Amino acid sequence: MIIETALEINFDCYVPNAKIEESDNPSNVWRVGSFKFSDKIKYKRRKFEFRALTDFLKIPRLSFSSQEERTLARYDFYNRWGFLTGSNDYTKASENGATFDKFQIDLCELNEQRLKGQLKEVDETKFTTPEFVNWTVHQYEASSLSLPVFNPLDLSSALYLSWFFGSKELAGMRTCKHFLEFGPKSGCQVVFAPSRKDKKYCCDACKKASHEKLNPRKRRSKK
């Protein structure tokens, strides 16, 4: 049996809101290649989005780019989503370069195997899924549904959780726009493989239903 599920990942990213710079301190091996604040520690919070995962997976590998390009991409990721292991407003610096590289490279390799249907064993990679916390209620057009909520402790856990349950998105699947805006509908596929880049609805019936809801006057005039 194969089932699909909906869940909520409740996490605020701690995005640096002050200048950060790479730190190479030979006297502290745990800080080599980490990023730290140039002056005062300052963050702004940003709601975690699935786009953080796709941005993370797009960071260029060393085998396809230079160390400088990868470092700049990592710096850009930090400025948009925060440090992988940052868990509060008082985190002084990021994880070191080796920790970042291992997590990013391992997750990229797992994702490539998964999309090729070759992912079977991941024992060598010590990833853990955050524990289930509680339930929340999501309101749809004509119904409500209780969804499980996960509260990751840091960004790396949020990224892994979204990858773990986000296989359809990662495989290029798209959620029907009618479902996103109005909730469940008889005949709606909910998720579908788009035949073209601009396709937003799973079928013509959903597209028509959405247009009628958005333009009720036109619907009445035809009667």
Contact 159, 128 (CB under 8 A): no
- Average of per-residue pLDDT values in the chain: 82
pLDDT confidence of residue 29: 47
CA 206/CA 199 separation, integer angstroms: 12
Closest CA to 130 of 10, 25, 3: 10
**Which residues partner with 169 through β-bridges?**
none
SS3 188: coil
Angle, helix 67-81 to helix 50-57, in steps of 10 degrees: 170
Contact 52, 171 (CB under 8 A): no
Residue whose token pair is 């060598």: 124
Give CA–CA dist 36/59, Å, rounded: 20
pLDDT tens, 7-27? 889 999 999 999 999 987 655
pTM: 0.73
